[in-house]
Amino acid sequence: MQQRKLGADGPLVGAIALGCMSFGGSYGETDEAESHRTLARALELGVTHLDTSNIYGNGRAEEVIGSFLKGKKGNFRIATKAGIEVGPPRGFDNSPQYLRECLEGSLRRLGLDHVDLFYIHRRDQSIPIEDVVGTLVRFKEEGKIGGIGFSEISPASLERATAVHPVMAVQNEYSLWTRLPELGLVQACARHGTALVAFSPLGRGMLADVLPDPARFHEKDFRRRNPRFNEPNFGFNREKIARFSTYAQGRGNSPSSLALAWVLARAPHIIPIPGTRSPKHLEQDAAGADIVLTQKDIEDIEAILPVGFAHGARYSDQQNIGPEGYG
């Protein structure tokens, strides 16, 4: 698999990474054995970057990864996140004491003494981002983390953070149906040598090979309360994306492979992290790194799914607590 750098001075990783949110049951019941098979297949495919968080399944996703690793990372480069207080009510805490407590817990569940990348999952607006960077730098100096990152921050916040210390990665939702990062974050990351790690690059399953059925969503499924998966929005979105699926299949590609190839083609510092706990789905995702798109291909894709095509907000009001606005 082609390689991309995780930040200007960071390690090389496979261009397609693996988001591990589903290992914690966020999209329904999970099976540890299947998750382990997915991790084993990831290594075979060259998918070497794992992304998780202390809140995915209240630590369950990290435990699943830890039981697979058994204290040895192998070729994986691992990132985890902290800063969200599990509610209700949901809150954010970026204090040194809380972040240290979270990091130590993550390392214990992973069975490691070091992670390659540690993100602030959501900013605590009561603490200046410069002070938060200072906390993360101390963790780095202690050898507990390799690089610092932020999730769902604005380009302006990235500017402030990098004035204190280089930021290895910023994580934000980015896909054919969520293109907000093009309003400054893609560009700011390029200026500062920061990787843009694109989560939900398959539109939370909408750009996968089989369109999801909201009627079958598990009670814990994040999408049950998401505007884009509720009618009438879902019907409009399904119609649009069905055309994309037909186009992909006509090219001999799976929809997920082509959607990921589109993300990779946007800029060389972007690393998508599709989430799955299925080896078969991971194989289709990884195939996206082998597709080379021409300018004509990109024009064709964007004629089918033009910027802003998605019906409904990407988060409900309750889900949109924490991400920084911009643009």
Mean pLDDT by 10 residues, the chain (327 residues): 94 96 72 91 96 92 93 83 83 96 97 96 96 98 98 97 98 95 97 97 91 83 86 94 95 96 98 93 94 96 96 82 84
pLDDT at residue number 315: 82
> Against a cut of 0.85, is the pTM above it?
yes
pLDDT at residue number 27: 59
pLDDT at residue number 317: 74
Q: Which residues are catalytic?
A: 56
pLDDT at residue number 71: 62
Q: What is the 3-state secondary structure (H, E, C) of the chain?
A: CCEEECCCCCCEEECCCEECHHHHCCCCCCCHHHHHHHHHHHHHHCCCEEECCCCCCCCHHHHHHHHHHCCCCCCCEEEEEECEECCCCCEECCCHHHHHHHHHHHHHHHCCCCECEEEECCCCCCCCHHHHHHHHHHHHHCCCECCEEEECCCHHHHHHHHCCCCCCEEEEECECCECHHHHCHHHHHHHHCCEEEEECCCHHHCCCCCCCCHHHCCCCCHHHHCHHHCCCHHHHHHHHHHHHHHHHHHHCCCHHHHHHHHHHHHCCCEEEECECCCHHHHHHHHHHHHCCCCHHHHHHHHHHCCCCCCCCCCCCCCCCCCCCCCC
pLDDT at residue number 31: 84
pLDDT at residue number 72: 65
pLDDT at residue number 26: 61
pLDDT at residue number 39: 94
Domains within the chain, CATH numbers bracketed:
3-304 (3.20.20.100)
pLDDT at residue number 143: 97
